[in-house]
Amino acid sequence: MDHILVLAILASLFSWLVYSLFVRPRSSPLRGLPGPDPTMKFLGFGGHLNSHLNVMTSKRTHEENVRKYGKSYRIKGIGNWEDRLITTDPVAMAHVLNRTLDYEKPWQSRRVITRLIGEGMLAAEGQVHKRMRRVGTPAFSIQNMRALIPVVFSKAHELKDKWTEIIKNEQSAASEKGSVVPAGSVLDVCKWISRATFDVIGLAGFDYNFSAIQNESNELFLAYKEMFEVAVSQAVGFKELVIIYFPWIERIFPDYKTRTIKKSQEIIYRVGRELVQDKKKRIMEGERTGKDLLSLLLKSNMSKDIDPAQRISDDDILNNINTFFFAGSDTSSLALTWAILILAEHPHIQKRLRAELLTIANPTDADGGDLSTSTSLHELYATIDELPYLNNVVRETLRVVPPVHSSLRMATKDDEIPTAEAVRMRDGSLRWGIRIQKGELVHIPVESMNVDTGVWGKNACEFVPERWDNLPEAVLEQPGLYANLLTFSAGPRSCIGMRFSIIEMKTFLYVLLTSFTFTREPTVRICPANVVLTRPFVVGKYKEGSQCPLIVTPYVPGSDDATVE
């Protein structure tokens, strides 16, 4: 199989090179913009993607480039032949993200997503996307998101109980052996939170309890987990690139990855179709169904407000539920993991936040009320939602470590992108607006926009929750669905699950921080790496996969000074 692959690669590379090197780029208007020289002249390879996508270098690289070339510049993409636009000009970014027909997601990335989870909201374009978003939007309304609050609390408490149990077991094991009884345990916060957020999306999406916090034995849970793991836990290699262009190669020569994805998909579609049929039957029979996304999508599709042409099929529904799992589980768990890691690294911020959270009576306290009534949970959440310091910590976490580091758009027609400030061209002249031609790519610099020192100030890269009490004027000009950040993107294709994630983050932080303290292991260094999403890795143990081990100690009221300092 390998020499067939090599032949296919060579043949494709040749035609691609001829076209790309000699036919297309000669006319590219992006060439008028300044930008770094190709890193390698040979055969046209040597783009700048790595330094812009690697979380360890991207902030510095971008900042240096802005100093040299201004806010708008061009880089070389996969190779020398491909010019890409990078701009942190707020007017230009808003223009690109707002015009979803003129700037689509590139077909290559859509093909990768579709191959995995089907064509749902994340991968679709044009009318198909519009239809899905139309049916999906009511399911994510403020009211429906509020209905999920009890589910989120229940899973946060289940996780808290699980951790408490693990720590107790370790303590009694140590005491039986006669060794020193540890105050807390080292837990991989990333893994545990990911199991909890998967549980939340299972209940929220399907009204289906994976019970992944208890154990990882549910068939549907394992199918999703394995599929996402093989698909996104490793960076896209050369072979994946070839398969994007020549999907038949994969059908003729399936490898381990292909087989795992196929096996998982069989389970997901078998179980998923049963769940859809069952739910439909119950809705038809007039039974009261829950507020899970599946029920809401089905009801939304049946609603009289929806134009017949806007209705979607069973498989569309399933592809969208898959999409919510894919887009909503790892992103949320990573956002929470980063928040907790940052709090472990900044004990004084953790202490201050815990003090704020503890000002709220916890209804699990003996006399604090009844956790089982959802009214009291809604009241509790409403109070949590208004806590100013928690709000600052959540926004600051999402600003400094956006789980989606960057995205990409492709111009579907020639266009002139307006700018807030004049663009310095390669020949030194100044020009308003950026010309781009059909087929060219625009990098969406989520992280760079969020930490732009020209906007956020000199300390833009630092974690300073207080900055939100006194924002610079310029921040208000930044596009963004949430808090003038690009973390959830902006415009008609921004994140549909933003409110969901905020509820999840605030609730989990409330439950976990009032129950535990988090500290770093002194000898372990944890760094971010961009593997589809920005994930934590232990330095020197990249092979072990993403992890975030922290010392988790039960919080004893009044002991904060002793445990955190």
Ligand X SMILES: *[C@@H]1O[C@H](CO)[C@@H](O)[C@H](O)[C@H]1NC(C)=O
Specify the stretch interacting with ligand X by CB under 6 A; choose among 55-63, 210-218, 258-266, 345-353.
210-218
User: Which pair of structure tokens corresponds to residue 365?
Assistant: 């306290």
Per CB under 6 A, the list member of 72, 218, 331, 392 interacting with ligand HEM is 331
Collapse the DSSP code of 409 into the 3-class scheme (helix H, G, I; strand E, B; otherwise coil) and give the result. Answer: strand
Considering the complex, state which of residue 1 and residue 302 has its C-beta at the smaller distance from ligand X: 302
The whole-angstrom separation of Cα 367 and Cα 382 is 20
Give the interface size with ligand X as a residue count (CB under 6 A): 19
Per CB under 6 A, the list member of 175, 215, 234, 373 interacting with ligand X is 215
The whole-angstrom separation of Cα 105 and Cα 126 is 11
Minimum Å gap between C-beta 531 and ligand X is 29
Tell me if 341 sits within 8 A of 393, measured CB to CB. no
376: contact with ligand X by CB under 6 A:
no
The whole-angstrom separation of Cα 494 and Cα 505 is 19
Site string for ligand HEM, 491-530 (x = CB under 6 A): --x-xxx--xx-----------------------------
333: contact with ligand HEM by CB under 6 A:
no
Minimum Å gap between C-beta 206 and ligand HEM is 12
Q: Interface residues for ligand X in 73-102 (CB under 6 A)?
A: 94, 98
The whole-angstrom separation of Cα 533 and Cα 232 is 8
Residue 94, CA distances (Å) to 176, 282, 417, 485 in order:
62, 43, 10, 12
448 touches, from ligand HEM, ligand X, none (C-beta below 5 to 8 Å by class): none
The whole-angstrom separation of Cα 464 and Cα 459 is 8
Considering the complex, state which of residue 151 and residue 393 has its C-beta at the smaller distance from ligand X: 151
Instruction: Output the DSSP codes for 432-481.
Output: SSEEE-TT-EEEE-HHHHHT-HHHH-TTTTS--GGGGGS--GGGGGS--S
480 phi/psi in degrees, rounded to 5 = 160, 140
Tell me if 140 sits within 8 A of 496, measured CB to CB. yes
Residue 484, CA distances (Å) to 104, 385, 464, 475, 548 in order:
22, 19, 16, 7, 28
Tell me if 69 sits within 8 A of 424, measured CB to CB. yes
Minimum Å gap between C-beta 130 and ligand X is 14
Considering the complex, state which of residue 313 and residue 470 has its C-beta at the smaller distance from ligand X: 313
Q: Which among 173, 266, 189, 253 is positioned nearest to 222, based on CA atoms?
A: 266
Tell me if 497 sits within 8 A of 335, measured CB to CB. no
Tell me if 320 sits within 8 A of 132, measured CB to CB. yes
209: contact with ligand X by CB under 6 A:
yes
Minimum Å gap between C-beta 203 and ligand X is 6
Question: Is the torsion defined by CA of 107, 112, 115, 119 positive or negative?
Answer: negative
Minimum Å gap between C-beta 154 and ligand X is 5
328: contact with ligand HEM by CB under 6 A:
yes
Considering the complex, state which of residue 111 and residue 431 has its C-beta at the smaller distance from ligand HEM: 111
Minimum Å gap between C-beta 98 and ligand X is 4
Q: Interface residues for ligand HEM in 443-502 (CB under 6 A)?
A: 487-489, 493, 495-497, 500-501
Q: Which residue's CB comes closest to ligand HEM?
A: 497
The whole-angstrom separation of Cα 160 and Cα 556 is 14
Instruction: Output the DSSP codes for 209-238.
Output: ---TTT-S--HHHHHHHHHHHHHHSS---H
User: Which pair of structure tokens corresponds to residue 345?
Assistant: 């690294």
Per CB under 6 A, the list member of 116, 203, 343, 495 interacting with ligand X is 203
Per CB under 6 A, the list member of 30, 121, 357, 475 interacting with ligand HEM is 121
536: contact with ligand HEM by CB under 6 A:
no
The whole-angstrom separation of Cα 118 and Cα 128 is 13
User: Which pair of structure tokens corresponds to residue 500?
Assistant: 């969901």
301: contact with ligand X by CB under 6 A:
yes
495 is in an annotated binding site: yes
217 touches, from ligand X, ligand HEM, none (C-beta below 5 to 8 Å by class): ligand X
Q: Interface residues for ligand X in 472-531 (CB under 6 A)?
A: 479
Per CB under 6 A, the list member of 323, 350, 530, 553 interacting with ligand HEM is 323
537: contact with ligand HEM by CB under 6 A:
no
Per CB under 6 A, the list member of 298, 357, 380, 526 interacting with ligand X is 298
User: Which pair of structure tokens corresponds to residue 11?
Assistant: 């043949």
Rule CB under 6 A: which residues touch ligand HEM?
A: 121-122, 133, 323-324, 327-328, 331-332, 335, 403-404, 407, 487-489, 493, 495-497, 500-501
Rule CB under 6 A: which residues touch ligand X?
A: 94, 98, 154, 158, 203, 209, 211, 214-215, 217, 280, 298, 301, 311-314, 317, 479
Q: Extract the annotated binding site for heme.
A: 495
